[in-house]
Amino acid sequence: MSVPAYLGVAAVVAVAASVQLAAGFGFGLAAVPLLAVVLDPHDAVVVALGLATFTNGYQAWTGRQHTDRAVVSRLLTGALVGLPLGLLVFVGVDDQVLGIVIGAVVLMAVVVIAAGLDLRHAGPALDVGGGLLSGAMTMSAGVNGPPLVFVLQARHFPPDRFRSTITTVFATLDVISVVVFAAIGDLRASVLLAIVVALPGLALGAVVGIAMRRHLDAVRFRRLVLVLLTVAGISAVTAAIV
């Protein structure tokens, strides 16, 4: 890649990290569609997952006292079934189709996150099903947040419990995915270089995100996230078609 491309990757990662640290989710949602404009869509997935391991691991560890471990267990049970299904899609789908899928997933996420369903009394099947979809989307598109966000918002988790629970699941899926990608040869030197180059942007975005979390009104920030995701989804679909 050219120097401007690497700078673009760092800038995208900074924005994604700020979203992640402020809301507890959204790194893949914000990073993958925009990275897919600069990188090969498959590489965008691997780079985003590699970087998300840092942000999710940090949030999962610092918020571990608020984690709902029973829900995490059910979500991961479903995700372990979904991961190999997503890998089949990742390996078998061409770049254009994958780019369109990434954009479509993000746009669907906008609808899901905007909907305020109340499923607090739903059974364990809700968590297992959400985990299965998240696992499949992790390996296929690098965007594993929408099903988990839907489940935890539908259960009306308070912010601290929401962030720590969802990032614990994310961190686990990220590590598994990176190991799998390394095993099948997708963690190439160019991908590793993109990850290293993006680390300063990741750190800057994390600092901004923590500041936003403390000072930004939750309702306004939620609206901002939805706008950013809409733009990112449309950009990914447009880039894939063009």
- 102-121 pLDDT, tens digit per residue, is 778 778 878 877 876 778 88
Q: Quote helix, strand, coil % in the chain, to nearest 5.
A: 85, 0, 15
Question: CB neighbours (10 Å) of residue 168?
Answer: 25
The CA–CA distances, whole Å, from 53 to 10, 12, 27, 104, 138 equal 16, 16, 10, 24, 12
Lowest mean pLDDT among 68-77, 152-161, 209-218: 209-218
HSE-up (13 A, CA, CB side) for residue 84 = 3
Selected residue with higher pLDDT from 45 and 2: 45
Average pLDDT, the chain: 84
User: Who has greater pLDDT, 195 or 39?
Assistant: 195
Axis-axis angle for helices 41-62, 3-23 (nearest 10): 40
Q: Is 45 or 81 the better-scoring residue by pLDDT?
A: 81
CA 232/CA 242 separation, integer angstroms: 15
Residue 184 dihedral angles phi and psi, to the nearest 5°: -95, 5
**What amino acid is encoded at 29 in this protein?**
L
- Reduced to 3 states, what is the DSSP secondary structure of residue 132? helix
pLDDT beyond 90 at 150: no
pLDDT at 48 > cutoff 80? yes
The residue ranking higher by pLDDT, 217 or 36, is 36
Nearest alpha-carbon partner for 188 in 10, 47, 51: 47
User: Confidence class of residue 218 from pLDDT cuts 50, 70 and 90?
Assistant: low
65-86: pLDDT as tens digits: 999 999 999 999 999 999 898 8
Q: pTM of this prediction?
A: 0.78
